[in-house]
Amino acid sequence: MISQLPQPQFLPTTRKEMETLGWDELDILLIQGDAYIDHPAQGPALLGRWLTAHGFRTGLVSQPGWKDYGDLTVMGRPRLFAAVSAGSMDSMLAHYTAFRKKRSDDALTPGGRAGARPNRASLVYTGLARAAFPGLPVAIGGIEASLRRLSHYDFWQDKLRRSALLESKADILVYGPGERPLLELARRLSRADGFSRDAISGIDGTATPLNPGDNIDGQWLELSGHEAIEQEPRLLVETTLALERLIHQGGRTAFQRSGGRGIVMRPPAEALSTEEMDFLYGLPFTRKAHPSYKEAVPALQVLGLSITTHRGCGGGCSFCSLAAHQGRRVVSRSKESIVAEAAKLSARKPAALSDVGGATANMWNAACLTKGECGRVSCLWPSPCVHLSASQADWLDLLKSIAELPDIKQVRVASGVRCDLAMNDEKALREFLQNFVGGQLKVAPEHLSESVLRLMRKPGQELFEKFLSAFERFRPDGQFLVPYLISAFPGCADNHMRRMAEWFRQRGWKPRQIQAFIPTPGTVAAAMFYAQTDWDGRPIFVAKTDRARLGQHSLLTEGLTDSRPGPKAARNNSRFRRSGR
């Protein structure tokens, strides 16, 4: 693949930067709620370079003021469309803690200050774009819009909200990875003589408003309507499961009625091929914050010299927003492309790679070996699927090839690893622990109660204990295991938390990474939290009030002695973990 436009050092953010590139207008304006870091882990930076590579002049406005639309107009009206994203995470998740308290910092803003983007930023930015450029098509995307594409439970308001497409009044909503849908939209609008409904309809990976003339009695799948879910909350669980199937199996258009209107959701866009992934991640990212910033953007430290090896996760955990966004199918970059990126980074001093991974690091190159229909909700739960290929030896070989590069000083895997896959190959596990993990290995048993683990779609306690014993045998001196745990999950009662606390107490082990469950929109777990039923419609206990949730949380965080040497209390960086917990 060859870039059709020269890649700029940064996407233009001002008129002057456009003129430097010789651009008299933009084709596409991207608007986002995070600071601009030109890093492949940041969606708008990635999409901007992708669209530019395909010949569309793309500019970026980051964290615009929202009292008026002035910041959106600095580069003029774009020729084709504006595309809005709240940022790398749902803006409500970025702004509020698990107990709905306002956060005082924001790692995705220069100086780490809170308050640089509005709540529900994608809705607010869409309104600004509409006002700034009347008649211009506006697309809404990113993880916030993607996971709120249909009726969803909003934890922060404790209510069911309508599709972000209808709430924002955008023309089109892009869900999942945006490369293909946005490129198709750009091509169609470029060909069309002005904006038309036809030009934006029928693009895979998008949702559009239901029109009166739409033929809905054909092959389309009707999902429960918004009002029906309000009447009968268990329908949200059913709808979310249907959505999971649609994402995984593709093939069908679905629609949902909502307040006299409706949403048409096309099948997911075809995943990028390995060749396309190599091209995309091989674009010349500077990995720096935009030079106009006077203060550092803290997230850059976390992103560091990290390399993304793949997208998607076959785990199917019921609470994971990232898998709900990227899907279960793993799409990997080639070994050559990853090693070539590492070689470029080896010029940095010190050339210490902070993370080589993805949603789940040891799923690089994981593949489904059957072409048949898949009716499972997870490739690993309740037990690993016989059709799943995920060679741990190949993964180790990739890491070793990077470590052998002449100027690379260190290679670390900070992304989570799946214990069940790691246990398949003890030799690879030993080498991994000895060479690619620092002082701490993060694993995510998430809980130790079988009934709660079932609702999470996570393997049982027995597997975690087996992994612990393997870890003890293979770990180098000074290395510790950091278990990530979740309190107040749907189906989790105080006695489950007490039993988990007791398990740790008996081992003199004080767990430090405990996240009170946050029902992130669009996940099966959030639907269960709202409906207070499991996926079979059976009632489950849910600690719903903040008081009840805090009570569960405290059962694990307080009153435990710490006789086992462990890491100093690390700041909970779960907001930046690649796994969407």
CB distance 125 to 142 below 8 Å: no
Taking the least distance from each CB to ligand SF4, the nearer of 242 and 385 is 385
Binding residue (CB under 6 A) for ligand SF4 from 283, 352, 368, 550: 368
Report d(CA 268, CA 566) in Å as an integer.
43
Taking the least distance from each CB to ligand SF4, the nearer of 78 and 314 is 314
Interaction residues for ligand SF4, span 28-67 (CB under 6 A): none
Report d(CA 423, CA 425) in Å as an integer.
5
The residue range among 174-182, 354-362, 369-377, 404-412 that interacts with ligand SF4, by the rule CB under 6 A, is 369-377
Report, in this order, helix, strand and coil percent for the chain, each rounded to 5.
35, 15, 50
Residue with tokens 């409706």: 262
Taking the least distance from each CB to ligand SF4, the nearer of 385 and 405 is 385
Residue with tokens 């749902």: 90
232 SS3 class: coil
* Number of shown-chain residues binding ligand SF4 (CB under 6 A): 9
For the CB of residue 146, give the shortest distance to ligand SF4 in the complex, in Å. Answer: 21
CB distance 565 to 437 below 8 Å: no
- 245 touches ligand SF4 (CB under 6 A): no
Taking the least distance from each CB to ligand SF4, the nearer of 78 and 315 is 315
For the CB of residue 383, give the shortest distance to ligand SF4 in the complex, in Å. Answer: 10
Taking the least distance from each CB to ligand SF4, the nearer of 274 and 479 is 274
Interaction residues for ligand SF4, span 297-316 (CB under 6 A): 314
Taking the least distance from each CB to ligand SF4, the nearer of 368 and 470 is 368
CB distance 549 to 452 below 8 Å: no
For the CB of residue 388, give the shortest distance to ligand SF4 in the complex, in Å. Answer: 4
Taking the least distance from each CB to ligand SF4, the nearer of 272 and 388 is 388
For the CB of residue 242, give the shortest distance to ligand SF4 in the complex, in Å. Answer: 17
Burial 65-92 (b: 16+ CB within 10 A, else e): ebeebebbbbbeebbbbbbbbbbbbbbb
Report d(CA 422, CA 399) in Å as an integer.
14
- 486 touches ligand SF4 (CB under 6 A): no
Taking the least distance from each CB to ligand SF4, the nearer of 385 and 560 is 385
For the CB of residue 384, give the shortest distance to ligand SF4 in the complex, in Å. Answer: 8
Q: Taking phi first (over 0 means left), then psi (-120 to 50 degrees means alpha), and beta for anything else, what does residue 27 get?
A: alpha
- Residue ranges of alpha helices (H) inside 142-296 are 142-147, 164-168, 179-191, 197-200, 226-231, 234-249, 274-281
Instruction: Tell whether the torsion through CA atoms of 46, 50, 56 and 57 is positive or negative.
Output: positive
For the CB of residue 392, give the shortest distance to ligand SF4 in the complex, in Å. Answer: 16
Torsion of CA 436, 439, 445, 447, to 10 degrees: -170
Which residues, other chains included, contact 450 with Cβ-Cβ below 8 Å and sequence gap of 6+? Answer: 460, 461
Interaction residues for ligand SF4, span 388-407 (CB under 6 A): 388
For the CB of residue 385, give the shortest distance to ligand SF4 in the complex, in Å. Answer: 3
Report d(CA 69, CA 254) in Å as an integer.
34
For the CB of residue 538, give the shortest distance to ligand SF4 in the complex, in Å. Answer: 24
Taking the least distance from each CB to ligand SF4, the nearer of 339 and 374 is 374
Taking the least distance from each CB to ligand SF4, the nearer of 368 and 403 is 368
Interaction residues for ligand SF4, span 258-287 (CB under 6 A): none
The HSE-up count of residue 88 (CA atoms within 13 Å, CB side) is 23
For the CB of residue 386, give the shortest distance to ligand SF4 in the complex, in Å. Answer: 7
Residues facing 105 on adjacent strands: 113
Taking the least distance from each CB to ligand SF4, the nearer of 251 and 478 is 251
- Which parts of 46-85 are beta strand (E)? 58-62, 81-85
Interaction residues for ligand SF4, span 370-389 (CB under 6 A): 370, 374, 376, 379, 385, 387-388
The residue range among 219-227, 289-297, 368-376, 433-441 that interacts with ligand SF4, by the rule CB under 6 A, is 368-376
For the CB of residue 312, give the shortest distance to ligand SF4 in the complex, in Å. Answer: 11
For the CB of residue 329, give the shortest distance to ligand SF4 in the complex, in Å. Answer: 7
Give the residues lining the site for ligand SF4 (CB under 6 A).
314, 368, 370, 374, 376, 379, 385, 387-388
